Amino acid sequence: MLKKAICKFTITIACASVCGVVSSVPSRAQDAQSEPRFLEARPVHDPVQVERTRAEWQRELQDLGMKGSLAHCQLMVETIYENTKDESYGAVCSFDGGSRPRDIMLCEDTLVGNLTIRAWGFAIAKDSVLNFTKQNCPAGG
pLDDT of the residue at 33:
53
Q: Which residues pair with 80 in a beta bridge?
A: 40
Average pLDDT over residues 116-130: 94
DSSP secondary structure letters along 2-37: HHHHHHHHHHHHHHHHHHT--PPPPPHHHHHHHSPP
pLDDT of the residue at 32:
47
pLDDT digits (tens, 9 = 90+) for 64-89: 999 899 999 999 999 988 777 778 99
Q: What is the mean pLDDT of the chain?
A: 77
Average pLDDT over residues 33-44: 79
Higher pLDDT, 14 or 44: 44
Check if the beta carbon of residue 137 is closer than 8 Å to that of residue 107.
Answer: yes
Evaluate if pTM is beyond 0.85.
Answer: no
Check if the beta carbon of residue 75 is closer than 8 Å to that of residue 91.
Answer: yes
What single-letter DSSP state applies at residue 99? Answer: S
* Count of Cβ atoms closer than 10 Å to residue 128 Cβ: 16
